[in-house]
Amino acid sequence: MQKIDLAKEKNIDQNKILVSDLNQKLAKIKLGGGKSKLEKIRLQGKMTARERVNYLLDEGSESLEIGALAGFEMYKDEGGCPAAGVVVILGYISHKLCVIVANDSTVKAGAWFPISAKKNLRAQEIAIENRIPIIYLVDSAGVFLPKQDEIFPDKEHFGRIFRNNAKMSSEGIVQIAAVMGSCVAGGAYLPIMSDEAIIVDKTASIFLAGSYLVKAAIGEDVDNETLGGATTHTEISGIGDYKAKDDLDALKRIKALVQKIGDNPRAGFNRIKSAIPKKKAEEIYELLPFDKALPYDTYQIIDCLVDQNSTEEYKSDYGKTIITAYARIDGWAVGIVANQRKIVKNKKGENQFGGVIYGDAADKSTRFIANCNQRKIPLVFLQDVTGFMVGSKAEHNGIIKDGAKMVNAMANSVVPKFTVVMGNSNGAGNYAMCGKAFDPRMTLSWPGSKIAVMGGEQAAKVLMQIEKSKLQKEGEKIDPKKEKKLLKEIKSRYDKQTRDYYAAARMWTDAIIDPIETRKWISIGIEAANHSPIKRKFNMGILQV
């Protein structure tokens, strides 16, 4: 009789529950403003945002949705903002990899919330970094006025989108816009600053001010169609390049235009025929602990992600709390930098805690990152890190210096970087392992992962001491029972802010993904990056050796 490993069974159950919960949330988000509003769009003779995107994508091709969870559980007083009111897809149109940005008019008439602007800027950033075409499917009522102070005037607000339009055009990054509904006020500049603009007859309009505002401002009586409809802009103003009879006609035009785009020079990242991993991807459910504080062997996770027999480990017997290895993912050559999550022994036979970055591990990683840059190999960071080692011994051995060298090498890396948060991503460990601040081409997280300045237990105790001191100064007595209750409340609040969904809602990560989809995301990510040749040399600047 086969012995049942209860811990593994618990891991499988817990991870499958997390993935199921993710899929349920995504299914609800894809309904946008709800079934009734989707049906209303169709009754107007229009396609929904996701129907438009799906028609553009090549049948049977792979695609990635960026920021599906943007806005999750935000703006509750305003009724919510599913997917930030905009659908962003990285996928193939006429066999060319493109970014597609589609306003969802079922969410507050496609109005722009602060998170909508952040998501649109992220879409443009992907197009700019990878030098791939970007397609705008415009159907928006403009800025959500109650939040205008959070979206209008700052550097990374709404205006940055038009600045990016201009920059992309000057750099030859193709932008095609199809106006398929409302396009008003400042938003009217986006399609016109694109290389080519399509406008759908009768259902679309472009103007700085609608008929009601025109009447109020200058007393002119004019209807919206005469003011800024397809006929006006393709026959009189010359703003539109093509008039489409309906949504389908506009989308066909986009496909035809993209089909004729020529090829540009490539980065030349190495790829051979793909091979299946040594372990099945589904085994990640078994290997990843249900409790994120528990140890596990990261080598086994790597065996689920990389092509079989492709791994060449670098300095395997040194700095063991970080694994550095050359490998392949879906045929692409990659450099893996991964936190080892089980306890290991150093060269002196001393135990080193899993997930902690020690000086020797940081030193090894620095050299490995430099090697990958010299050989034009993209880097994949697999994060499950609690931070750098602390204490007098670590400080005397120069942990800050070693950590600084690792951060320097990673930050100055010229090859594309991809970050996967498998479990924990804490403190300076987040930075050293290529957190969002260090421009990874993609930042992905697995369900149940956490991003925080420190672990929940430690942070709650620190915050508790601060709160306790404050209350005591105000003359309030804290008995053990009240202290326990207060600690629980603080930890609950802190834990919420560290959750994967909290991060994804604010676009700190591009997506929460099912672990078995990781290879696909990284492979398409590298293919996108391969469109952009490396233009500068790797240089780490000044270092304390």
324-330: average pLDDT: 98
Indicate the pLDDT class of residue 465, thresholds 50, 70 and 90: confident
Indicate the pLDDT class of residue 3, thresholds 50, 70 and 90: low
Residue positions counted in the chain: 545
Tell me how far apart the 2 most distant CA atoms of the chain are, in Å: 87
pLDDT at 542: 77
pLDDT at 455: 66
pLDDT digits (tens, 9 = 90+) for 43-58: 999 999 999 999 999 9
pLDDT digits (tens, 9 = 90+) for 59-105: 999 999 999 999 999 999 999 999 999 999 999 999 999 999 999 99
Indicate the pLDDT class of residue 524, thresholds 50, 70 and 90: very high
pLDDT at 459: 65
Is 70 exceeded by the pLDDT of residue 180?
yes
pLDDT at 545: 63
The lowest-confidence range among 44-53, 263-272, 480-489 is 480-489
Is 70 exceeded by the pLDDT of residue 341?
yes
Question: Who contacts 254 (Cβ-Cβ below 8 Å, separation ≥6)?
Answer: 56, 93, 135, 176, 178, 198
Indicate the pLDDT class of residue 150, thresholds 50, 70 and 90: confident
Is 70 exceeded by the pLDDT of residue 460?
no
Is 90 exceeded by the pLDDT of residue 490?
no
Indicate the pLDDT class of residue 187, thresholds 50, 70 and 90: confident
| Portion of the chain with pLDDT greater than 90, in percent | 74
**What is the token pair recorded at 113?**
């919330």
Indicate the pLDDT class of residue 1, thresholds 50, 70 and 90: very low
Residues 344, 346, 350, CA angle at the centre, nearest 5°? 85
433-454: average pLDDT: 94
| Portion of the chain with pLDDT greater than 70, in percent | 96
177-187: average pLDDT: 87
H/E element holding 422?
strand 417-426
Average pLDDT, the chain: 92
Distance CA 519, CA 60 (A): 18
pLDDT at 508: 97
Phi, psi torsion values for 425, nearest 5 degrees: -140, 90
- Judged by phi (left if over 0) then psi (alpha if -120 to 50, else beta), residue 507 lies in left
Please report where in the chains the tokens 């994967």 appear, as a residue: 500
Is 70 exceeded by the pLDDT of residue 174?
yes
pLDDT at 525: 98
Is 60 exceeded by the pLDDT of residue 501?
yes
pLDDT digits (tens, 9 = 90+) for 367-404: 999 999 999 999 999 999 999 998 999 898 889 999 99
User: How is residue 453 annotated by DSSP?
Assistant: S
285-310: average pLDDT: 96
Contact 387, 394 (CB under 8 A): no
Q: From 73, 98, 95, select the one nearest 83 (Cα to Cα).
A: 73
Beta bridge partners of residue 97, listed in sequence order: 92
> Can you give the three-state secondary structure of 282-323, one letter per residue?
CHHHHHCCCCCCCCCCHHHHHHHHCECCCCEECCCCCCCCEE
Q: From 235, 271, 254, 211, select the one nearest 100 (Cα to Cα).
A: 254
The lowest-confidence range among 51-65, 124-138, 437-451, 452-466 is 452-466
pLDDT digits (tens, 9 = 90+) for 19-31: 999 999 999 999 9
